[in-house]
Every structure is written in structure tokens, then in C-alpha cells.
Structure 1
Amino acid sequence: MVFGGSCSSCGVGFALLVVLFILLIIVGASYFC
């Protein structure tokens, strides 16, 4: 990922990363519970 590019693509990449992280937490919580 290039951080020096346009701000919109940077925001989309960051949003996808956050969504994946949240899904990982939800799956992990449901797995351990």
C-alpha cells in the first residue's frame, strides 16, 4: 500500500483494515466463548 498516494485510497485501505480487525475480534470472541 502506498501512503503517498491519494487520500481517498488511503482511507479506503485503512477502513478495510479496521473492518477486518473488528471481524477478527468478533470471530475470536465467539470462538473462545
Structure 2
Amino acid sequence: MSYGGGYNNSFVLIVVLFILLVIVGASFMSY
């Protein structure tokens, strides 16, 4: 995943973790 010269890998990781957290939170809120 070195597309674009590997720009801000930490930022991308944080965004992915945030999206996963939102999905898990939404699934828990549905119950």
C-alpha cells in the first residue's frame, strides 16, 4: 500500500480505526 509515496500512513491508520469504531458502535447501538 505504497500508493502516492506512502503519504501519512499513521493518518490513514487512524482513519481506518475510526471507521471500524463507528461501524462497531453503530452495530451495538442497533441492539
Give me the TM-score of the superposition, normalised by structure 1: 0.70
Structure 1 unpaired stretches of 5+: none
* Percent of paired sites with the same residue: 10
Total equivalences in the alignment: 30
Q: TM-score, normalised by structure 2?
A: 0.73
Q: Which ranges in structure 2 are unaligned for 5 or more consecutive residues?
A: none
- Which gives a bigger RCO, structure 1 or 2 (Cα 8 Å, sep 6+)? 1
Aligned CA-pair RMSD: 2.0
